[in-house]
Structure 1
Amino acid sequence: MDILLLRFDAPLMSFGTVMVDQHGPIDRFPGLSLLAGLFGNALGYRHGDGPALDALQSRIEYAARWDIEPQPLLDYHTVDLGQPKMAEPGWTTRGEPEYRTGGPSAIQGIHPRYRHYWANGVLTLAVSLAGDHPPGAAALAEALNHPARPLFLGRKTCLPGAPLLLGRTEDRDVLSALCRTPLARRFGRPPPTKVFACWPAELGERGGARRVSVYDRRDWRNQIHAGRRQRIEGWLECSAP
């Protein structure tokens, strides 16, 4: 199996999950839709390229672990949508103006927001793309090294602090590849003996890990959540750094 090894190292990361009202909760690990959006952005896909993003999302299989545990951070802020400047078009990295659309609630009133983040953590991932049709692992690796647009880890404020791609390897599955990848280290911190991780449900439970339901797939054509899947979450023994 052709596998890409990635490392998310950023001051802030935000792995959004099902949102209700003004709260923007996050998951412990990035979802399939987040990875599809990240990879699609690197490849030059647009948000409206529903068929291409759906196809990419359906091919992603990954395992992930926290090499350095993050700290939860809650950002509370308010926005006055009635300000004149809020009616003006916004700047985008694609060089086109972005306008605010919707009903009265989108253009007036003061809106409170609670945004959740993971702060100061380091996450390592092993990712594969099922099937032989493009893009393949080589094309995705090239795109991550030379992305079509700036990349971010969840929200646009979550910019990577280091290149995402660690390397490319061959292994029997993504969990095996993840277990063979050395841990990230930070000066002054002793290496952990175990790390919290997730991996595909098809690879089975081990060492007290449990099966959990997640809602991380997106119907990109219709811009809605696309149901439930299961993964395994638990503790893994660490490789030597």
Structure 2
Amino acid sequence: MSVLLLRLAGPLQSWGSSSRFTRRGTEIAPTKSGVIGLLAAARGARRTEPLTDLLGLQFGVRLDQPGQILRDFQTARSLDGRQPAKLTYRFYLSDAVFLAAVSGEPELLHGLADALHRPRFPLYLGRRSCPPAGPISLGVHEQTLDGALTDWPWLAAEWYRRRAARTIRLEIIRDAHPGEPATETVPDEPISFDPAHRQHTWRSVLRRHVDVTNDLAERAAVIEHDPLSLLGG
């Protein structure tokens, strides 16, 4: 089993799955459709082209540094200025870092990793105004998707880790396996990005948590607060 790992980090990210009209929201983590779109852009595929082999990829993401929700106000008007300006609400994740993983055939994954190093189209984190900070690809590894999301070192920024406790619980959101009880279903399985008939379908996802050790907490002498410690005999 092979898995391509991605580091998705930047000042701003926005991963919408149900944005409509004047309110453009974001999910708390990268969406499968957003990451598939990023990989397609790296290969130079246009929106009207079929997604073909990318549709068979399995996807998962770990919330290493969840970030904070940021709301922005924007106005839009017609080119001639005759139409009144409309106030739109756009939501972003600021200072977030995610470990994303896609699993599939090794040849396909190695090709995607090469494309991420030399992308044909500009890459962005869910929205064009959200460029990534640094390289995205962490390479292809011989491991299961679930195992990679569990075992890969914590990717949070150093300043974030210095403020955190010694043990951190991270959330993992991944595709549910066939026959596996799903936590929920989300409208996030891409079929086509063609603007004329964009299509998504539902996918079953599983949410779980993994504990990671924060070595920087030891160096910074971070002490975890135990409210019951004073009651001990």
TM > 0.5 = yes
- Work out the number of aligned pairs and report it: 208
- In the alignment, structure 1 segments of 5+ residues that lack a partner are 85-106
Matching of residues 199-210 of structure 1 within 5 Å: 199-202=174-177, 204=180
Query: Which of the residues 49, 56, 60 maps onto 1:63?
Result: 60
Percent of pairs identical after alignment? 27
Tell me which residue corresponds to 1:80: 77
Matching of residues 14-163 of structure 1 within 5 Å: 14-49=14-49, 51=50, 53=51, 55-83=52-80, 108-129=83-104, 131=105, 136-163=108-135
Query: Which of the residues 139, 149, 164 maps onto 1:167?
Result: 139
Determine the C-alpha separation between the residues in 2 that align with 1:80 and 1:20. 17
Q: Which is worse superposed, 156-165 or 55-64?
A: 55-64
Q: Which is worse superposed, 72-81 or 23-32?
A: 23-32
Determine the C-alpha separation between the residues in 1 that align with 2:23 and 2:158. 35
Partner of 1:230: helix, strand, or coil? strand
TM-align CA RMSD: 2.3
Kept in 1: contact 2:55–2:191 (CA 8 A): no
Asked if 1:236 corresponds to 2:210, the answer is yes
Amino acid at match of 1:178: L
Query: Which of the residues 178, 185, 191 maps onto 1:213?
Result: 185
Determine the C-alpha separation between the residues in 1 that align with 2:213 and 2:113. 24
Kept in 2: contact 1:81–1:111 (CA 8 A): no
- Give 1:80 shift: 1.9
Kept in 1: contact 2:60–2:172 (CA 8 A): yes
- Give 1:239 shift: 5.8
Q: Which is worse superposed, 9-18 or 183-192?
A: 183-192
- Give 1:15 shift: 0.6
Larger radius of gyration: 2
Amino acid at match of 1:227: T
- Give 1:77 shift: 1.2
Partner of 1:139: helix, strand, or coil? helix
Q: With a CA cutoff of 8 Å and minimum separation of 6, indicate the structure with the bigger relative contact order.
A: 1
- Give 1:186 shift: 2.3
Kindly tell me: are residues 137 and 125 of structure 1, through their superposed partners in 2, closer, same or farther at Cα, counting changes over 3 Å? Answer: same
Determine the C-alpha separation between the residues in 2 that align with 1:223 and 1:128. 27
Matching of residues 176-187 of structure 1 within 5 Å: 176-187=147-158
Kindly tell me: are residues 127 and 44 of structure 1, through their superposed partners in 2, closer, same or farther at Cα, counting changes over 3 Å? Answer: same
Determine the C-alpha separation between the residues in 2 that align with 1:126 and 1:61. 8
Kept in 2: contact 1:8–1:122 (CA 8 A): yes
Tell me which residue corresponds to 1:9: 9
Kindly tell me: are residues 56 and 113 of structure 1, through their superposed partners in 2, closer, same or farther at Cα, counting changes over 3 Å? Answer: farther
Amino acid at match of 1:232: L
Kindly tell me: are residues 70 and 37 of structure 1, through their superposed partners in 2, closer, same or farther at Cα, counting changes over 3 Å? Answer: same
Amino acid at match of 1:63: G
Asked if 1:193 corresponds to 2:190, the answer is no
Relative to its length, the structure with more strand (as a share) is: 2
Tell me which residue corresponds to 2:198: 224
Kindly tell me: are residues 238 and 23 of structure 1, through their superposed partners in 2, closer, same or farther at Cα, counting changes over 3 Å? Answer: same
